[in-house]
């Protein structure tokens, strides 16, 4: 708890510090490649047959996803707080890669906890982290995914708290993490508003983003929250289907609980034991969700829907084939719902889908699930 109080104080200080903001802005621009484009997807729009679909291209950010926005911010903060060792948890490996990248750049030592199931599913990212000089620690407990990686990272942190900065990648964990991650990710939504106004005029009718822990969604939603005319849709992983119990749809199917130090919706059984989430995309495989998403749901400001593994795979194909953009399997969930929503909104409307990351990391799993049929196609 004292570490969290120190962290909050440290964060407050840098928030008010113009030099910190300038340094971060310069890094986001010159190092991470921001602003990422807002791209009008003409062929996807035609294929979906409804509203004009714009894609916010976080997949083009350095390291391949939006995660770099937050790791640059927190990496700078770790340096300001005098911590030379950074630990992180990762699911899909995108946050791990983004953390390892920043640690390489800032000369910090880096240990990344990753569930052994995710190590297997996302081997490419494991190798990337190792190339960047990070140590990847496979976690064998529980469901061997993101939740368990986070348990282990928390155990490391309480043990080495004096020397170590814990760099959480999602809007999860104890305060101030959800707020801090939201702030660092809000650059997505701020750019999006500006870019949309310039290229299309006005505001989109809707913004769609996938939700695991919720960082990319909070990032694009936050600047839109006060703009009441814009509908916000968070897309959760329905996995094998909501009725099968094998899913990651925390907001759709969970109830209020406390996990990893935040009170929000949680997938749990009758006795309050945390249930294992399931999704084909490792980044959506988390039985908790950022507390502000729970607030947006309760207040009705955002709607939360779900998309199955199969529908996400289909959307991956559609976007890849008609735009030449390979989305991450996480982002494919947002694409799937975005296309459905486009039909419902009709041709006069416009919407934005946040393509939170690129699909390179998923090639192995795609080859495994699709490989056989593709060979047969030939």
Partner 1 sequence: MSRIDNAFLSLKRTGEKGLVVYLTAGDPNPAASVAYLRAAADGGADLLEVGIPFSDPTADGPTIQAASRRAIGGGMSVARALGLVSLLRRTHETPVVLFGYYNPFLSFGVPKLCREAREAGADGFLVVDLPPEESREMRPAVLGAGMDWIPLATPTSGPGRIRRAAAAGSGFLYLVSVTGITGVRNALPPGLAAWARSVKARTRLPVAVGFGISTPGMARETTRFADAAVVGSACVRVVERCGASRKGPGELRRFVHSLKHAMR
Q: Minimum distance between the CB of residue 328 and partner 1, rounded to whole angstroms?
A: 26
- What is the C-alpha to C-alpha distance for residues 65 and 134, in angstroms, rounded to an integer? 18
Among positions 33, 133, 241, 257, the unique one binding partner 1 when judged by CB under 8 A: 257
Q: First and final CA of the chain: distance in angstroms?
A: 59
Taking the CA atoms of 357, 221, 343 and 305 in sequence, report the sign of the dihedral they define. Answer: positive
Examine the residue annotation and report whether 370 is marked as an active-site residue of this protein: no
Among positions 49, 245, 272, 371, the unique one binding partner 1 when judged by CB under 8 A: 272
Q: Minimum distance between the CB of residue 50 and partner 1, rounded to whole angstroms?
A: 42
Burial class (CB within 10 angstroms; exposed 0-12, middle 13-18, buried 19+) of 228? exposed
> Which distant-in-sequence residues (6+ apart) come within 8 Å of 167 by Cβ?
71, 74, 75, 78, 86, 87, 88, 99
The alpha carbons of the chain give a radius of gyration, in whole angstroms, of 19
306: left (phi over 0), alpha (psi -120 to 50) or beta: beta
Catalytic entry in 89, 152, 191, 323: 89
Q: Minimum distance between the CB of residue 279 and partner 1, rounded to whole angstroms?
A: 19
33 is a contact residue toward partner 1 (CB under 8 A):
no
The percent of the chain in helix, strand and coil, each rounded to the nearest 5, is 50, 20, 30
Q: For partner 1, what does the binding mask look like between residues 127 and 156, x meaning CB under 8 A? A: --------------xx----xx--x--xx-
Catalytic entry in 56, 67, 147, 297: 67
Examine the residue annotation and report whether 323 is marked as an active-site residue of this protein: no
Contact 239, 246 (CB under 8 A): yes
Examine the residue annotation and report whether 67 is marked as an active-site residue of this protein: yes
Q: For partner 1, what does the binding mask look like between residues 156 and 195, x meaning CB under 8 A? A: --xxxxx---------------------------------
Name the residues annotated as catalytic.
Answer: 67, 89, 356
Per CB under 8 A, residues contacting partner 1 are 1-3, 141-142, 147-148, 151, 154-155, 158-162, 256-261, 266, 268, 270-274
């Amino acid at each position: 708890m004292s570490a969290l109080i120190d962290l909050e104080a440290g964060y407050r200080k840098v928030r008010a510090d113009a030099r910190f903001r300038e340094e971060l802005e310069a890094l986001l621009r010159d190092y991470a490649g921001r602003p990422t484009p807002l791209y009008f997807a003409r062929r996807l729009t035609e294929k979906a047959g409804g509203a004009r679909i714009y894609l916010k291209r976080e997949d083009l950010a350095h390291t391949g996803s939006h995660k770099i926005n937050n790791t640059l911010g927190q990496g700078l903060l770790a340096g300001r707080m005098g911590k030379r060792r950074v630990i992180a948890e990762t699911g899909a490996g995108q946050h791990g890669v983004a953390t390892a990248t920043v640690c390489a750049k800032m000369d910090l030592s880096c240990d990344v906890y990753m569930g052994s199931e995710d190590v297997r599913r996302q081997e490419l990212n494991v190798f990337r982290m190792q190339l960047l000089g990070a140590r990847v620690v496979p976690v064998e407990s529980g469901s061997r995914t993101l939740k368990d990686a986070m348990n282990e990272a928390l155990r490391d942190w309480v043990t080495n708290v004096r020397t170590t900065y814990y760099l959480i990648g999602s809007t999860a964990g104890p305060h101030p993490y959800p707020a801090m991650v939201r702030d660092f990710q809000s650059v997505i939504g701020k750019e999006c508003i500006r870019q949309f106004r310039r290229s299309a005029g006005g505001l989109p009718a809707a913004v769609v983003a996938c939700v695991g822990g919720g960082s990319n969604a909070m990032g694009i939603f936050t600047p839109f929250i006060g703009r009441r005319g814009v509908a916000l849709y968070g897309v959760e992983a329905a996995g094998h289907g909501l009725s099968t119990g094998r899913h990651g749809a925390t907001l759709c199917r969970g109830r209020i609980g406390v996990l990893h130090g935040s009170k929000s919706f949680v997938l749990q059984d009758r006795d309050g034991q945390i249930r294992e989430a399931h999704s084909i995309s490792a980044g959506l495989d988390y039985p908790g969700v950022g507390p502000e998403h729970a607030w947006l749901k309760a207040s009705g400001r955002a709607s939360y829907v779900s998309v199955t593994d199969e529908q996400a795979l289909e959307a991956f194909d559609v976007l890849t084939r008609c735009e030449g953009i390979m989305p991450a399997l996480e982002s494919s969930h947002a694409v799937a719902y975005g296309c459905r929503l486009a039909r419902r909104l009709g041709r006069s409307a416009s919407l934005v889908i946040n393509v939170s990351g690129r699909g390179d990391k998923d090639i192995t799993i795609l080859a495994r699930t699709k490989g056989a049929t593709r060979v047969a196609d030939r």
